[in-house]
Amino acid sequence: MKPAKEVIHTRIWEETPEAGNPFAAAVCRCGGYDVYGDLLGKASWAEYLYLLFKRERPAPAEARLLEDLAVALANPGPRDPGVHAAMCGGVGGSTHAASLMAALAVGAGQLGGAHETALAMDLWRDCGTDLKAWTGRLRQPPAPPGPADIWPGIDHFPGFDPNGADCPLPVRQTLAHLAGLSPGPALPWLHRQRPDLEAAARSPLTLIGVAAAALADLGFDRDQAEMLCLLLRLPGAAVHALEQRGYGWRKFPFFGDGLVLADDPGPRRPETD
Amino acid sequence: MGGPERLEQSEDRWTTGMGAFFPAEGRVVFRGKDLHRDCKDMAWMELLLYGITGRRFDANQTRLFEGIWTLCTSYPDPRLWNNRVAALAGTVRSTASLAVCGANAVSEATIYGHRPIIGAIDFLLAAKTARDLGGNLAEFVKDRLRRNRTLPGYGRPVRRTDERIGPVLALLGELGFPRGPHVALAFEIEDILLAHRFRLPMNIAALLAAIAADQGLSRREYHHFMILGFSAGMFPCYIEAVNQPGLGFFPLRCDRIAYEGTPARPWHTPAAGEPGQSP
């Protein structure tokens, strides 16, 4: 007997084929909703994004929170290492995908990047809105990398800036705004406790720290939060890469005098050339 | 045959000449050879070339191709755009694999990296064909230059003489390879350019393309061979940045952004009944 065909198991997506082509879908349902026959035109981008991740449509307050978080994260600006990496692709005329791959590779990091969001989500999972638990964790040294960990060790607390002085205005503005519309407890609590948490961490809160609180309030887990952070910061990387392609490499910082070579073996003798 | 019938033919069926793993037998086939029996004595470079071309290269050729990778890898200067991606990944504590993959992806660039590499072999192969068909090489070169304004493999903005050419030619000689027809052609083209006072001395892309063509690589095979060659210069850039204080790799102050766009303006939210666009 011929074995049954292998199938893709999913709770997210269902397709009904076209009558004349089993390889083309006539109806696509996401979480039960007809995407092209019903949802399209009714759902916002944020509602659909939430539906994709959670398989349920968000409450209006959740959709608004995700929408505004997406605006806050969309462009970290050209000084951000992930955007800088994308611009390196732009100035050299690399493929657009390479620019976004570079943005993802760098924007994935644990210092201002997406993996830091996952680590910060661990703090929310473990400490909730218990100030004593948070300050206890923040006063301990960060955990070393676990066995078989591919990530480099970190020496700062996720969601806080080890190079920071005071909490920057955009972080405070974003926190105040999102805390005002969050349906969950994390953002309002973070807004109230920020000074105490920053004192315990001896460093200011970052936008990643705010994003982790927002994603905790939206009920996302650490992996979903990391994915969303990667995705939601790509627009800025894309537009800055495209813009630098137009400006060209001559107008892009090269740090020409910035490199100090510590182990120069010295010039070669002419006869060895 | 097209349309869904073609997809039906391939449903649950992929015919490959490239290889497979047979877990029950503990056996791996790599392009028609038993990996652990027939390929066990191959150098990694030999295996790579075999995987790309399906042809065997002898030890001398393997040393030549590996020497090309050594001499022409991405210089470990973290300011260079592809290496900078690796260094940036280190400074934000991303992973080594993401760093090197991101940097290699960016190496598929236009003004350096893979596109000039392909452009150079395309140009040389076209020049060879034109001359083999009885054409005048000087006219061919000048015509290409007139039409495209650049010649892949010739000219280099940062330095007049490409510092890699001497060592690569020395390697070719040390291994006992004569200057083959494509290498000879590459130098003839340089002579033509210099004789006509075009300031376009040969750069390494032309020489490497010529060597690859002389060794029988097609343009695609040559492109594929070159893809991973930059990696050796990328790891050091990542390693150093990941071992230095975080975000310490060329940090930029806010005033390093030279804004040239629309001056500051408020986001106007229209009231009900008001036209939608902000003024």
The yes-or-no verdict on residue B35 having pLDDT over 70 is yes
Distance from CA of B261 to the nearest CA of A (A): 12
Q: Which of A188-197, A255-264, B31-40, B86-95 has the lowest mean pLDDT?
A: A255-264
Q: Flag if A111 and B81 touch (Cβ within 8 Å).
A: no
The string of pLDDT tens digits covering residues A188-246 is 999 999 999 999 999 999 999 999 999 999 999 999 999 999 999 999 999 999 999 99
**pLDDT at position A28:** 98
Distance from CA of A160 to the nearest CA of B (A): 13
Question: And the tokens for A270?
Answer: 């002419």
Q: How far apart are CA A15 and CA A24, in angstroms?
A: 9
| Partner-chain residue, chosen from A94, A101, A113, that has the shortest CB–CB distance to B92 | A113
Distance from CA of B128 to the nearest CA of A (A): 28
Percentage of chain B with pLDDT > 70?
A: 98
Q: Flag if B110 and A92 touch (Cβ within 8 Å).
A: yes
Distance from CA of A176 to the nearest CA of B (A): 19
Percentage of chain B with pLDDT > 90?
A: 90
Write down the mean pLDDT value for chain B: 94
Q: Can you give the pTM of this predicted structure? A: 0.94
Closest CA to B192 of B122, B115, B127: B127
The yes-or-no verdict on residue B102 having pLDDT over 60 is yes
The yes-or-no verdict on residue B276 having pLDDT over 80 is no
User: What is the mean predicted confidence (pLDDT) over B170-188?
Assistant: 97
| Partner-chain residue, chosen from A108, A151, A259, that has the shortest CB–CB distance to B79 | A259
Closest residue, chain A, to B252 (C-alpha): A79
User: What is the mean predicted confidence (pLDDT) over B130-139?
Assistant: 96
User: What is the mean predicted confidence (pLDDT) over B262-273?
Assistant: 88
User: What is the mean predicted confidence (pLDDT) over B143-148?
Assistant: 94
Q: What is the 3-state secondary structure (H, E, C) of B241-274?
A: HHHCCCCCCCCCCHHHCCCCCCCCCCCCCCCCCC
| ipTM over the 0.85 cut-off | yes
CA angle, A20 as apex, A19 and A22 as ends, to 5°? 80
| Alpha-helix runs per DSSP H in B175-230 | 181-195, 204-214, 219-227
Q: How confident is the model at residue B1 (pLDDT cuts 50, 70, 90)?
A: low
**pLDDT at position B271:** 83
The yes-or-no verdict on residue B225 having pLDDT over 70 is yes
Label the pairing between strands B27-30 and B33-34. antiparallel
Q: Please name the residue that has the structure tokens 């690859």.
A: B212
Beta-bridge partners for B202: B154
Q: Flag if A82 and B249 touch (Cβ within 8 Å).
A: no
**pLDDT at position A268:** 82
Q: Does residue A27 sit in helix, strand or coil?
A: strand
Q: How far apart are CA B190 and CA B202, in angstroms?
A: 6
Residues in chain A predicted with pLDDT less than 50, given as ranges, are: 273
The yes-or-no verdict on residue B205 having pLDDT over 70 is yes
A151 lies within 8 A of chain B by CB:
yes
